[in-house]
Structure 1
Amino acid sequence: MRCSSLLSSRPATRAGACALLLPLLALTACSVDDTKARGSADGASAKTTAGASPSAIALQPLDTALQAKVPKKYSKGTLVMGVSEYSPYNTFGSNGEITGLVPDLARQFSSMLGIKITVQKTTFDAVVPGIKSGRLDLSAPAGDFVERQQQVDFTDFAQSSVTVMINTSASFEPTTGLELCGRKVGVEKGAGTQNVVAALTEKCAAAGNQAVGEQVFTDLSSAALALQSKRLDAVAAPSASNTAASENSNGRFKTIEIKDMRSLPAATAVYGFESKKGSGLAAVLADALRKLHDDGTYQKLFDTWALSLSTVDKAQIAVNGSKQHQSK
C-alpha cells in the first residue's frame, strides 16, 4: 500500500494518514524468502507473498483427482485473480506485494490443482466486468447474493456482517441505525454496504429524519483516511476490515456492531470466490476448499489472519449456495 496513492488532496493530512497506515502494514505486509520464486513453479505469483503460511502452514501436494476436474480452458497458462484491498483478506504492501487470506488460499489452490495463479490489484467495482470479459478469472472475497449469481458463479467460503467504524476523538458513537441519519458515512463503491445504507436511508425517511450522507470510495483505506481527518462520521464496512483497521489504529478508531442494522438487506453475507458463469471453475474450487477444511488447513489459515469468526462449516462450502438477496 502506497500512502501517497491513498491520501487526501489536503497536504496537511498526509503525515497523520501515513502514521495511521504504518502499524497495519507492519502486521500484514511481511514476507518470507522462500516464496519469492513460487509463482513460476508451484504457487501463485510472487506478488502474493504472505506473512506466515508458506513456512508455518504447508502447501497441499498436487491432487491428481482434483487436477483432472480443472476445465481445459484453465489447465494451462496462468489464472488471473483480481483483488481489491480488504484487509486481512487482501492487503496491498508498499513494495507491491499482496498479502492476506485470499493470496494464501490461492497458493493452496495452485499447489493442489497444478495451475498457476497470479494475484493482481483491482477495484471492487471492476471485478465482475473483468470476469465477464475474460480479463480476470477469479476474485475474492465478494458477497454471494442471488442478484450477483446471474452474472458470475460463487464458491462460498466465509461469512461476514456489516459494522460501523468511528473516530474515537469525535463525540459521535451511535447505538442505533437511525443515529446515522443525516451523518456522513463512507462505503466502498460496488459493495453490499451501499445497499445497507440505502435501506437505512429509507428507514430514516420513514422516521422523518434526514437521509444518510453516503460517501462512496474506491477502497476502504481511502474511507479510513477520510474518517481520520473527520471528513466522515463513520465508515460502514464488513466486520473483518473495520476490525483490522481499528485494532491497528493506535486507538484512533473503534468498531461497533449496531444490532438493529443486521436485519437490513446485505447487512450480513456469505463470502465467495467469483469465477466466470458456467465455466466449471467454481465447483473445482469448492472441492479444493472442502479438502482444506477436512485436513485442518482451512481453519489454520483463518486463524493466521485473525478471521476465526468468519469461518463456515464444510456443508456451507458450495457453489452459489446463498439464497440471500442484496436489495430486498
Structure 2
Amino acid sequence: MTQNRIPQGLALTALVASLLTPLSAKAEQEFNADLHARLPQAIRDAGEMVAVNNGSFPPYEIVEGTDLTGATADLSAAISEIIGVEIHHASVAGLSALLSGISADRYQFAMGPVGDFPSRREGNDFVNWVQEYVVFAVRAGNPEGIEGLETVCGKRIAVMSGGSAERVLLAQSEKCEADGDDAIDMQSYTDQPTSILAVRSNRADAFFSSQAPLTYFVQQSNGQLELTGVGLSNGFPNLFQGAVVPKDSELGPVLLDAVEILMENGTYAEIMTEWGLENNMITVPGMNLGEAL
C-alpha cells in the first residue's frame, strides 16, 4: 500500500483566516467563583493555562503564526471569562503530539474539537460540545466518481495524519485488496489547508475529513470543489467531538459546566451560528460520549 507522509504546510491558512473571520464582538461573560474554585490548584495558582491545537481546522481553529481565530478561539475566550483564568494557545504537529502532550501534562487541555473515541481515553477524557460527520471534498464535477467510502478503491485520498479518518481509510484499503481491487493511495498530511490544496492541485482525488471544515473550504473555493458522500456513515458511528483534558482531571467537569453555561445563555449558539456550524451543535454537553469505530 502506498502511504506518503507530507510535511506540514500552511498554504491556505492566511486566505481562510481572512475569508472566515467574523467581525462582531461577543458579550462579556459573568465570572463564576464556584467554577474557579473547582479548577486544579496548579491552574488557580498560575492564573492561566495553555490550550494546544494541531494546526488549522477551519472554521473551528484557524492558526496564523501565533494567532488563533475561529469558533474554538471564541468559545475559549468566553470560558476564560467564566472560570477566571487566561487561556493561551499553542500549536503542535499532529494529533498524536496533541494527545500525548496533554496526557504528559505539557499542556493543560485542548479545546478542540477533537474526535472522541474510547481508544483515545486511556490517558485523556473528552468534554463533548459538537457532533460531526465525515465526508469527501472533491474537484468540481467529481471526475473520479467518488460517492462514499465504498467507491475509493485505487483512488488518491488525502487524510489527516493520525486521525480517525486515517484509520477508517486503512481498514477500507485492506478491504479493497481483499476483494481484489486496488489499494487506496493514501496521502497523510498534518493540517487541513495542505490537505485541501492537494485536491485543488490534482495531487489527490479527494480529501476525507470532517464535514464542517470541508463545507467551508468548498464554499471558499470559487466553484473548484464540492462535497460528496454526505448523509452516509462512511465507516463511522455517531461522532462526538470536544475538548481534551488529562484523564480524571478536575478540569474536565469545570469545562463541562462552563460549556453548559454558554449553551444556556445563548453564547454557544451565537458563536456556532456565526461560524456556520449550526448543523454541528448539540443541546447538552457531555463527557466521553463517543462510540468505538
Please report the TM-score for the alignment, with normalisation by the length of structure 1. Answer: 0.80
**CA-CA distance at 1:22 after TM superposition:** 5.9
Tell me the distance in 2 between the aligned counterparts of 1:22 and 1:70: 35
Deviations 1:216-275 (A, max 9, x none): 001121111111211101100000111111111111111122555x15146x42001001
The equivalent of 1:39 in structure 2 is none
The equivalent of 1:127 in structure 2 is 98
Tell me the distance in 2 between the aligned counterparts of 1:169 and 1:125: 35
Indicate conservation of the 8 Å contact 1:161/1:238, yes or no.
yes
Indicate conservation of the 8 Å contact 1:152/1:276, yes or no.
yes
Residue of 212, 223, 231 corresponding to 2:203: 231
Asked if residue 300 in structure 1 is aligned to residue 270 in structure 2, the reply is yes
Tell me the distance in 2 between the aligned counterparts of 1:221 and 1:173: 23
The equivalent of 1:104 in structure 2 is 74
- Give the match's secondary structure for 1:237: strand
The equivalent of 1:146 in structure 2 is 118
Query: Per chain length, whose mean CA-contact separation is higher, i.e. which structure has more relative contact order (CA < 8 Å, sep 6+)?
Result: 2
Tell me the distance in 2 between the aligned counterparts of 1:216 and 1:270: 23
**CA-CA distance at 1:201 after TM superposition:** 1.9
Indicate conservation of the 8 Å contact 1:182/1:211, yes or no.
yes
Tell me the distance in 1 between the aligned counterparts of 2:79 and 2:68: 16
What fraction of aligned residue pairs are identical, expressed as a percent? Answer: 26
Asked if residue 116 in structure 1 is aligned to residue 116 in structure 2, the reply is no
The equivalent of 1:160 in structure 2 is 132
The equivalent of 1:28 in structure 2 is 20
Aligned residues: 282
The structure with the largest helix share of the pair is: 1
**CA-CA distance at 1:176 after TM superposition:** 3.7
The equivalent of 1:63 in structure 2 is 32
Stretches of structure 2 that go unaligned for 5 or more consecutive residues are 1-7
Deviations 1:31-88 (A, max 9, x none): xxxxxxxxxxxxxxxxxxxx446x2x21211011221211212113221111121000
Tell me the distance in 2 between the aligned counterparts of 1:207 and 1:258: 25
Tell me the distance in 2 between the aligned counterparts of 1:216 and 1:193: 10
CA-based RMSD: 2.0
The equivalent of 2:4 in structure 1 is none
Q: How does 1:1-328 map to 2 (within 5 A)?
A: 6=9, 23-29=15-21, 51-52=22-23, 55=25, 57-77=26-46, 78-84=48-54, 85-93=56-64, 96-123=66-93, 124-139=95-110, 140-168=112-140, 171-260=143-232, 262=233, 264-265=235-236, 268-314=238-284, 317-322=285-290, 324-326=291-293
Letter of the structure 2 residue corresponding to residue 264 of structure 1: G
Indicate conservation of the 8 Å contact 2:160/2:166, yes or no.
yes
